[in-house]
Structure 1
Amino acid sequence: MEKPRVLFLCTGNSARSQMAEALLRKMAGNHFEVHSAGLEPTVIHPMTIKVLEEIGIDASQQYAKPLTTYLGKTQFSYLVTVCSKAEERCPFFPGMGQRLHWPFEDPAAFEGNDKEKLDYFRTIRDQIQARIQQWLSELNIS
């Protein structure tokens, strides 16, 4: 039986959506096929990789992808926007299942010294992890 597909979407696909992809894959990858994309993809922020490594997730092979990679080609059971810009600008497209919106602040936009930035990336990572755990509980997936 095919696993339900989940797509996490944000603007740059550099931090939040990448974290969500890696976290859901670690937490419930046996239940879902997990992807992420951006409306205007850039490159993965180095602190995204670092804060995931801190909790035992190797995201070094992940890369930023445009939404067009999937539009009209892949059907998703869940589309999860993780930023308000993506929620406002994401088109509805064939094959999109349930649409969810989990807004998180952009850690890449945080201003401060390197330690403060890294701490903020950790905060957002932990918020995303908690939201995924809540969602998995709602779906009765442990």
Structure 2
Amino acid sequence: MADKFRVLFVCANNDVRSLMAEALLRHTDAEHFEAFSAGIAAGEVDPRTLESLDHIGIATTGLRSKAIDEFEGQQFDYVITLCDKSSGEAERMPASGEVMVWNFEDPVTSERHDPFRHALQEIHDRVNMFATVKTRH
């Protein structure tokens, strides 16, 4: 197998959505992808993020909030932003072959019932679709 695709998921604080996406892509297809996540600024990982992932059997080992600056000078095949705030910070993103904009409601401020479970499901569906499309030969 050739080198894995390097994917960086970016959100405002790297506390919920981008961490979920990182963990889900690792779980979904570690054979083809290397997943990373960062925030415009590092934040505190929301414990509900880890609980949601644990609940569906996704490994959370090593997940921590990181600032985008940690990846300065690195090259990614895909940089995927998960919120409006990170989409507006394009000039701060590391070099990539393709930038994708996915926008998911922040479960921290959502008024939906069980917002973390909803966010996880929506991100899971999108990550699965992404992995399928990008590995189709």
**Conservation of the 8 A alpha-carbon contact between 1:8 and 1:82:** yes
Asked if 1:87 is matched to 2:87, the reply is yes
Q: So what's the TM-score if we normalise by structure 2?
A: 0.91
Quickly say closer, same or farther: Cα 1:70–1:79, change in 2 above 3 A. Answer: same
Runs of 4+ in 1 over 4 A off after TM superposition: none
* Partner residue, 1:134: 129
* Partner residue, 1:19: 20
> 1:8 is matched by which residue type in structure 2?
F
Distance in 1, Cα, partners of 2:101 & 2:122: 14
Q: How far 1:41 moved relative to its partner?
A: 1.4
- What are the ranges of 5 or more consecutive residues in structure 1 without an aligned counterpart? none
**Conservation of the 8 A alpha-carbon contact between 1:39 and 1:90:** no
Distance in 1, Cα, partners of 2:108 & 2:61: 18
- Report percent identity of matched pairs: 36
> 1:137 is matched by which residue type in structure 2?
T
**Conservation of the 8 A alpha-carbon contact between 1:9 and 1:80:** yes
Distance in 1, Cα, partners of 2:19 & 2:30: 14
Asked if 1:123 is matched to 2:124, the reply is no
Q: How far 1:124 moved relative to its partner?
A: 0.4
> 2:84 is matched by which residue type in structure 1?
S
* Partner residue, 1:38: 39
- What are the ranges of 5 or more consecutive residues in structure 2 without an aligned counterpart? none
**Conservation of the 8 A alpha-carbon contact between 1:10 and 1:16:** yes
Q: How far 1:139 moved relative to its partner?
A: 2.1
Quickly say closer, same or farther: Cα 1:127–1:69, change in 2 above 3 A. Answer: same
Q: How far 1:40 moved relative to its partner?
A: 1.5
> 1:135 is matched by which residue type in structure 2?
F
User: RMSD of aligned C-alpha atoms?
Assistant: 1.7
**Conservation of the 8 A alpha-carbon contact between 2:81 and 2:100:** yes
Helix, strand or coil at the partner of 2:108: helix
Distance in 2, Cα, partners of 1:103 & 1:130: 13
Stretch moving more, 99-108 or 51-60: 51-60
Q: So what's the TM-score if we normalise by structure 1?
A: 0.88
